[in-house]
Chains A and B, each alone.
Chain A
C-alpha cells in the first residue's frame, strides 16, 4: 500500500513553460485535493475533486487546471508557469468529502519557476 504518491519530486521550470504534476492514491478514496505550501502561510487549497467526475476551485485556483483522470489519479497542470507559482505542492486524499474524514497527504512536489 503506497498511499498517496506524487511525481515528480522536484522540478525547475522557466517562466512560461507548462507542466503537469501527477498524483495517485491506492486507498480507494473518493475525494482528492491539491494544496500549495509557501513559507509562513500554511497550506492553501488550489482545487479539489469530491468524487470521480467532479472538480471544484479552492482558495487559489488562478493559473492552474486539474483533471480527475479516474478514481485513483488527480493531476494539476500549470499552463504558463510564473515565479509566483514557486512552491511545494501537496496532493491529498480522503475516503469521502465528509466533514470528519482524515486527509492523507503525498510526499510533495518542490517546484521552482525561474
Chain B
C-alpha cells in the first residue's frame, strides 16, 4: 500500500537557523497538503500543492512539490519560537480520493 515517509523525525534548531523537512511517497501523488500541529493542539492546514515542480511561499515558509510528484519539502527560513510544532505532509490514498495518508511528521523544537 501507499506509504508517505517524512524525515527527519525530530529537529532541534537555534532560533534564527533554517529548517527543512522532507516528504516522500511510494506512489505518485495528485496533490500534497501540509499541516502544522502545535504541542497539545490539533493539525491545522497550511497549504496544498498540485502542480509538478510547484513552489509556494507563505512568509518565511517555502513549500515545494517535486517534478515527479512523489516528494515534497517544507523549508522555514530564520526559525522563530512560534514555529515549534510537528509538521505533517499528507497525500490522497492511492485507492481513491477520499482519504489522506499522513506522514509520521517532523517535530521541530526551536531554542531561543
Contact = CB atoms under 8 A, between A and B. Distances in A.
Contacts of B31: 99-100
B interface, how many residues as a size bin?
20 to 34
A111 B7 CA distance: 28
Interface string B13-55: 0000000000000000011010000000111110010100000
Contacts, number: 53
Contact of B92 (A90, A99, A102): A99
A26 interface: no
Given A42-B102, A56-B98, A108 B88 contact: no
A72 B45 CA distance: 21
B103 interface: yes
Interface of B is mostly: loop
A4 B110 CA distance: 29
Given A40-B9, A42-B88, A100-B48, A108 B98 contact: no
A99 B32 CA distance: 10
Interface of B: 4, 9, 30-31, 33, 41-45, 48, 50, 88, 90, 92, 97-100, 102-105
Interface of A: 31, 33, 35, 40-45, 48, 50, 56, 58-59, 90, 97-100, 102-108
